[in-house]
Amino acid sequence: MFADDLGFERGCLTAIGMRADEPGRVANAHGKKIEGFEGYCPLYVDGVSKAEVTEFWRNQNIDLALPNNKGVTDKWNCDLCFKKSRHKLASIILEDPSKADWWIQKEAEKNQVFRKDGPSYQQLKIIATDQGNLFDYEEDSISCFC
């Protein structure tokens, strides 16, 4: 963990950028011990919403040029996080199939899949690259606290 690499002792407070309009995610992190560190969500505590964060970044001199799909970007921190919907995973793999390779390798090393309710990353890569967006999965991503 990054905090370990910096020499922080377990038990210190760890700020996590979850907003006030994400109470489900916040419930899994704020005030909870995560790998020995206590989670703290300052944006949640201060009542900061997605609209305020969007406005903040709109007024900055930097633009990460992330795609925006109705206020949501499919390319947040974890490129192919298993908590994302299959549709999002397939669209990201279709754009850059090599992104699936790390996930495929991890599933092979452990001889198990990240999610038992769907295809493996190897299968997702085949589906995305051979069939594109042939299937429109109507599922939501799983709520996470990362």
Give the pLDDT confidence of 30-85 residue by residue, as tens digits.
Answer: 988 877 888 899 999 999 998 898 889 889 998 877 776 666 676 666 788 888 88
Question: Are 115 and 80 members of one domain?
Answer: yes
Asked whether residue 73 falls in the same domain as residue 46, the answer is: no
**Are 37 and 91 members of one domain?**
no
The mean pLDDT of 8-23, rounded to a whole number, is 85
* Statement to judge: residues 91 and 50 lie in one domain: no
Distance (Å, whole) CA 57 – CA 75: 16
Q: According to the model, what pLDDT value does residue 102 have?
A: 93
Shared domain for 77 and 24, answered yes or no, is no
Q: Which helix (H) or strand (E) holds 33?
A: strand 33-34
Picking from 69, 129, 137, 72, the residue whose alpha carbon sits closest to that of residue 99 is 129
pLDDT of residue 140: 54
Q: Between 40 and 13, whose confidence is greater?
A: 40
Same domain for 118 and 74: yes
Cβ atoms 93, 128 nearer than 8 A: yes
Provide the percentage of residues in the chain whose pLDDT is more than 90: 32
Can you give the residue range of the structural domain that contains 29? 2-58
Quote the percentage of the chain above a pLDDT of 70: 79
* pLDDT score of 9 more than 80: no
Q: Are residues 35 and 87 in the same domain?
A: no
Q: Mean pLDDT over all residues of the chain?
A: 82
- From CA 57, how far away is CA 106, in angstroms rounded? 35
